[in-house]
């Protein structure tokens, strides 16, 4: 399968990134037994669509060691406010219910891999 298919939804894997919202954020992210990366995005943001594609490509390699979620800031004002999301895309890592590293803007796949490697158990 080509890069275009993976980035724009042709991938058979629908596991990553999994959606999360204000309603289930605490349960899925803060109470997770694994480290978590949350992508804060907006559907009107072109860079966010690219970031989501990169996460779809990389996250399956970390299955069982890390969870990856995406949160639409347009529909989740509580999380947007709680984590002071001022720009999208923003990635925030979480471990033991606490936020860790924060990266704003589109980053290359190699940097996402480094971020994942830093937090996996």
Q: Which residues participate in catalysis according to the annotation?
A: 45, 48
Instruction: Return the closest-CA partner of residue 17 out of 94, 61, 71.
Output: 71
- Rounded Cα distance, 100 and 78, in Å: 18
| H or E element, residue 81 | helix 77-82
């Amino acid at each position: 399968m080509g890069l275009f298919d993976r980035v724009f939804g042709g991938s058979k894997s629908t596991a990553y990134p999994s959606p999360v919202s204000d309603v289930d954020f605490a349960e899925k992210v803060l109470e997770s037994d694994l480290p978590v990366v949350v992508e804060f995005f907006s559907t009107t943001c072109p860079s966010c669509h690219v970031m989501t594609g990169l996460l779809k490509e990389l996250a399956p390699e970390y299955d069982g060691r890390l969870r990856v979620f995406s949160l639409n800031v347009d529909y989740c004002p509580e999380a947007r406010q709680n984590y002071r999301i001022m720009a999208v895309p923003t990635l925030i890592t979480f471990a033991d219910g606490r936020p860790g590293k924060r990266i704003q803007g589109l980053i290359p796949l190699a940097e996402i891999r480094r971020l994942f490697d830093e937090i996996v158990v």
